[in-house]
């Protein structure tokens, strides 16, 4: 009886082992059957998945362009009055929109379009700067003048012009254009050369010397070098047989040097019409006759070669009172006959026969000069120098104004144009 449980356990273990073997056999047979079924089965057709439903794309439509801005309304030039003590500056701008970049007291801006327009920049003044009173904004020209320049009418270029090489008889020099002097209508009529832009006080004049003058000119001694500021007047046209007159208002800063020139008109050594300083304290009104056939001055070259050898002058000795800080008005008159008259502040200070032929003398060039009424030109015309800058000294003064007349002014007319400005 003690062995019976052991036999039963052994039989039970054998049954379990057989059952496990049967299960394994069934699993293997099932796997084999599944492989056979997969090998014999026909593959189902492949259908790609349907794409998602398309959304209708909205067509991009550009918004309509904004309406163009209305054209700027430019008011007519405002007429203003600028007292002589006010600093006045003009600026040349290529685009009216650039006017907003400038704000000087008394400033007037103009554009170089055709025709140029004056834009008084009243709204662009420095804050709290009092507006000018109503009236004429510019200094009027002298009655009867055909060219009028004033220090209150200067147009400085935003960028200086190109450097120009110019032959001046002895040397070839380089000069630069920094601005323009304008006539009473605002048109540029003369070029400011070798003077850097700055505010110009109408009562002081355009300084022709000092730190603002940048023209370096070696003198004919080949040692001395002067810094000159000049104004190129271009070609000045007059009428044969009418004479010519000039009025210049000048403010002296110091004793003038020898060969300091107020103004010069001429054709080389012919047709010279100029006022300069000789030995500093002598104001000299100098003329030469013109060349036969093309000259502007009916005078005879006695040697038939060079008008400079037949030059004539009227002199006036100045003193310290003349050079005081007062604007002086100098008027030079060349009569059709060749006689000269020189005035200072309306008073006659010198006169002479000039280049006139002696009474009763025959004109050896009769018929060779231009006829009365014909136009003639002086092509070398300057403020602050004559045709030879190597023989020109700095002008220690400010040029306030210049008026040229295509006529010989009478004493009454000289008195009228010499009156101080109101």
Q: What value does the mean pLDDT take over residues 375-386?
A: 90
* Partners of 347 in beta bridges: 344
Of the pLDDT bands very low, low, confident and very high (cuts 50, 70, 90), residue 329 is: very high
Work out whether strand 87-88 and strand 340-344 pair parallel, antiparallel, or are unpaired: unpaired
Nearest Cα to Cα of residue 201 among 252, 155, 152: 152
CA atoms within 13 A on the CB side of 144: 16
pLDDT value of residue 359: 64
249 close to 275: Cβ distance less than 8 angstroms = no
What SS3 state is found at 232? strand
pLDDT value of residue 367: 62
Could you tell me the pTM of the whole model?
0.67
Distance between CA 305 and CA 83 in Å, rounded? 50
Would you call 195 exposed, middle or buried from its count of C-beta atoms within 10 A (0-12, 13-18, 19+)?
buried
Range of the domain at 355: 206-360+367-417
290 close to 284: Cβ distance less than 8 angstroms = no
Q: In sequence order, what DSSP letters do the residues of 234-274 get, joined into one string?
A: EEEEEETTS-EEEEEEEEE-SPPPTTBEEEEEEETTEEEEE
pLDDT value of residue 318: 92
pLDDT value of residue 172: 57
Top pLDDT among 321 and 167 is at: 321
Q: Is residue 289 part of a domain?
A: yes
Average pLDDT of the chain is 74
Top pLDDT among 47 and 115 is at: 47
Q: Is residue 395 part of a domain?
A: yes
pLDDT value of residue 363: 67
The answer to which of 33-42, 109-118, 403-412 has the lowest mean pLDDT is: 109-118
Check whether 94 has a pLDDT greater than 90: no
Distance between CA 91 and CA 157 in Å, rounded? 6
Of the pLDDT bands very low, low, confident and very high (cuts 50, 70, 90), residue 56 is: low
Work out whether strand 312-317 and strand 282-287 pair parallel, antiparallel, or are unpaired: antiparallel
The answer to which of 35-44, 190-199, 207-216, 397-406 has the lowest mean pLDDT is: 35-44
Would you call 151 exposed, middle or buried from its count of C-beta atoms within 10 A (0-12, 13-18, 19+)?
buried
C-alpha distance across the termini of the chain, in Å:
161
Query: Above pLDDT 70, what percent of the chain?
Result: 69
Q: Is residue 348 part of a domain?
A: yes
pLDDT tens per residue, range 333-343: 999 888 999 99
Q: Is residue 142 part of a domain?
A: no
Check whether 230 has a pLDDT greater than 90: yes
CA dist 365 to 289, 292, 302, 356, 377, Å? 12, 7, 10, 13, 19
Top pLDDT among 167 and 401 is at: 401
Distance between CA 354 and CA 314 in Å, rounded? 8
CATH number for the domain that contains residue 402: 2.60.120.200
Distance between CA 323 and CA 301 in Å, rounded? 36
Q: Is residue 21 part of a domain?
A: no
Distance between CA 317 and CA 220 in Å, rounded? 26
Of the pLDDT bands very low, low, confident and very high (cuts 50, 70, 90), residue 17 is: confident
The answer to which of 129-143, 163-177, 333-347 has the lowest mean pLDDT is: 129-143
Residue whose structure tokens are 């044969």? 240
pLDDT tens per residue, range 386-416: 888 888 889 999 999 999 999 999 999 999 9
Distance between CA 312 and CA 334 in Å, rounded? 11
pLDDT value of residue 332: 97
Q: Is residue 263 part of a domain?
A: yes
Q: What single DSSP character describes residue 398?
A: E
Distance between CA 315 and CA 328 in Å, rounded? 16
Structure tokens, 383? 């403020």
Q: Is residue 242 part of a domain?
A: yes
Of the pLDDT bands very low, low, confident and very high (cuts 50, 70, 90), residue 163 is: confident
How wide is the angle at C-alpha 225 spanned by C-alphas 220 and 229, nearest 5°? 105
Check whether 278 has a pLDDT greater than 70: yes
Distance between CA 207 and CA 210 in Å, rounded? 7
pLDDT value of residue 122: 28
Check whether 328 has a pLDDT greater than 80: yes
CA dist 183 to 114, 160, 231, Å? 15, 20, 14
pLDDT value of residue 80: 34
Highest mean pLDDT among 160-174, 354-368, 371-385: 371-385
Highest mean pLDDT among 30-39, 144-153, 225-234: 225-234
Check whether 97 has a pLDDT greater than 50: no
Check whether 374 has a pLDDT greater than 90: no
Distance between CA 1 and CA 269 in Å, rounded? 168
Structure tokens, 153? 């009418």
pLDDT value of residue 372: 80
Number of domains in the chain: 1
- Work out the number of other CB atoms within 10 angstroms of the CB of residue 213: 21
Distance between CA 177 and CA 173 in Å, rounded? 13
Outline where DSSP puts E strands in 115-257: 117-120, 147-150, 154-157, 163-168, 171-182, 188-193, 200-201, 206-207, 215-218, 225-228, 230-239, 244-252
186: CB partners within 8 A, 6+ apart: 110, 116, 117, 118, 153
Q: Is residue 220 part of a domain?
A: yes
């Amino acid at each position: 009886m003690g062995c019976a449980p052991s036999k039963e356990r052994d039989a039970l273990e054998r049954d379990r082992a057989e059952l496990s073997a049967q299960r394994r056999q069934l699993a293997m047979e099932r796997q084999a059957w599944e492989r056979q079924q997969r090998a014999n089965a026909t593959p189902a057709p492949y259908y790609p998945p349907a794409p998602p439903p398309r959304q209708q794309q909205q067509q991009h439509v550009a918004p309509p362009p904004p309406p163009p801005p209305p054209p700027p309304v430019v008011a007519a030039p405002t007429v203003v009055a600028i007292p002589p003590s006010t600093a006045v500056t003009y600026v040349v701008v290529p685009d009216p929109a650039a006017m907003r970049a400038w704000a000087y007291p008394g400033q007037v801006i103009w554009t170089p379009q055709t025709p140029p327009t004056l834009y008084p920049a009243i709204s662009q003044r420095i804050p709290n700067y009092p507006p000018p009173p109503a009236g004429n904004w510019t200094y009027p020209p002298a009655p009867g003048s055909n060219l009028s320049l004033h220090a209150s009418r200067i147009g400085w270029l935003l960028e200086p012009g190109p450097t120009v090489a110019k032959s001046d008889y002895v040397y070839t020099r380089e000069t630069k254009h920094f601005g323009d002097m304008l006539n009473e209508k605002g048109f540029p009529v003369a070029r400011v050369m070798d003077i850097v832009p700055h505010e110009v006080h109408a009562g002081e004049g355009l300084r022709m010397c000092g730190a603002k003058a940048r023209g370096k000119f070696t003198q004919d001694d080949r040692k001395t070098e002067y810094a000159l500021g000049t104004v190129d007047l271009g070609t000045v046209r007059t009428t044969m047989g009418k004479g010519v007159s000039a009025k210049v208002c000048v403010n002296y800063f110091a004793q003038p040097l020898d060969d300091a020139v107020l103004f010069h008109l001429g054709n080389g050594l012919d047709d010279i019409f100029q006022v300069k300083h000789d030995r500093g304290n002598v104001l000299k009104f100098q003329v030469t006759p013109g060349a036969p056939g093309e000259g502007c001055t009916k005078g005879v070259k006695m040697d038939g070669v060079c008008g400079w050898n037949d030059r004539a002058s009227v002199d006036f000795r100045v003193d310290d009172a003349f050079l005081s800080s007062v604007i002086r008005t100098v008027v030079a008159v060349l009569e059709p006959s060749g006689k000269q008259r020189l005035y200072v502040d309306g008073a006659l200070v010198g006169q002479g026969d000039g280049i006139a032929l002696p009474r009763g003398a025959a004109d050896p060039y009769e018929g060779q000069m231009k006829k009365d009424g014909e136009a003639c030109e002086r092509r070398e015309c300057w403020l602050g120098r004559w045709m030879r800058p190597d023989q020109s000294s700095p002008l220690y003064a400010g040029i306030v104004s210049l008026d040229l007349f295509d006529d010989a002014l009478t004493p009454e007319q000289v008195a009228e144009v010499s009156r101080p400005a109101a």
